[in-house]
């Protein structure tokens, strides 16, 4: 396939405006690039629970950040029946689980401004940051900046019933190390930590998909491809380690074996 055709497919696929309401709340408003990474984060959680013989329905979710990745991930999980119990953003947040059903989350997605949470009743950051780590939730999505999540926050979330962390941010834990520092290792031994190179690979996968010959550039094809790639990666992890912990360690072992056979 010629370089010009590859560039054309990349341009079309990445910037394509979504019109399939299975993947966007409003036709024509969002591009693939706006939502695909958050979709992948949500799908990583869904696939994880599928492999455990369960689902995300009824699971409580805490989201860190409310940019494109965080808002989209929260939106897609809420559509699957999960319930957001809290959002912490850099200027404030919410800890009102009774109000954050699927309709409320969609509204928060549509009304965010400049990648910031905008809603009446926004609580100050200091208040939310003090409370949110003790909120009862099974799923935590760190989707803000890198190296924010501390060991104390992990331990408080675990004490409140945490089961799964899906890394929407690159290197979400406050470690100096780039890969698998002590906080990441500690979290990996407590709960299911889906690593960033699986959970947030959506945009990178879109680039790879659009460079393939003759692919279908529809909303469904692009989004399903990302879900399939993430699902396949987690299935390989599950085949080697079917427990609920050390998922990141296992994923690194598989990745390193592929890089250095």
The answer to whether 192 touches 245, Cβ cutoff 8 Å, is: yes
Reading across the β-sheet that carries 60-64, which strands appear in turn? 123-124, 92-94, 83-89, 60-64, 139-142, 164-166, 192-194
Q: What's the pLDDT tens digit per position in 7-46?
A: 888 888 889 999 999 999 999 999 999 999 999 999 999 9
CB 216 within 8 A of CB 20: no
At residue 33, the pLDDT reads: 95
Per-residue pLDDT at 97: 66
Per-residue tokens: 232: 């396949």
Q: Give the pTM.
A: 0.95
Dihedral over Cα of 241, 242, 245, 248: its sign: positive
How confident is residue 222, by pLDDT bands cut at 50, 70 and 90? very high
Of 131, 127, 112, nearest in space to 66 by CA: 112
Look at 101 and 232; give whichever has higher pLDDT: 232
């Amino acid at each position: 396939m010629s370089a010009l055709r590859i560039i054309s497919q990349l341009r079309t696929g990445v910037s394509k405006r979504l019109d399939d309401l299975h993947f966007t709340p409003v036709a024509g408003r969002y591009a693939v690039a706006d939502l695909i990474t958050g979709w992948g984060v949500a799908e990583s959680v869904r696939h994880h629970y599928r492999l455990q013989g369960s689902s995300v329905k009824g699971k409580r979710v805490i989201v860190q950040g409310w940019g494109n990745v965080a808002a989209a991930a929260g939106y897609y999980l809420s559509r699957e029946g999960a319930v957001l119990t809290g959002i912490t953003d850099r200027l404030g947040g919410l800890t009102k689980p009774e109000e954050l059903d699927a309709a409320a989350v969609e509204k928060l997605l549509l009304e965010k401004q400049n990648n910031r949470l905008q809603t009446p009743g926004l609580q100050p950051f200091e208040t939310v940051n003090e409370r949110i780590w003790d909120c009862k939730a099974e799923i935590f999505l760190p989707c803000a900046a890198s190296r924010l999540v501390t060991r104390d926050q992990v331990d408080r979330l675990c004490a409140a019933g945490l089961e799964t962390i899906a890394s929407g941010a690159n290197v979400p834990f406050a470690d100096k190390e780039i890969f698998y520092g002590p906080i990441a290792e500690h979290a990996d031994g407590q709960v299911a930590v889906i690593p960033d190179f699986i959970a947030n690979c959506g945009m990178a996968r879109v680039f790879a998909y659009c460079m393939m010959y003759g692919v279908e550039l529809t909303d469904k094809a692009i989004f399903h491809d990302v879900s399939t790639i993430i699902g396949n990666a987690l299935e390989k992890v599950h085949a080697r380690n079917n427990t609920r912990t050390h998922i990141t360690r296992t994923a690194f072992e598989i990745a390193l074996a592929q890089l250095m056979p």
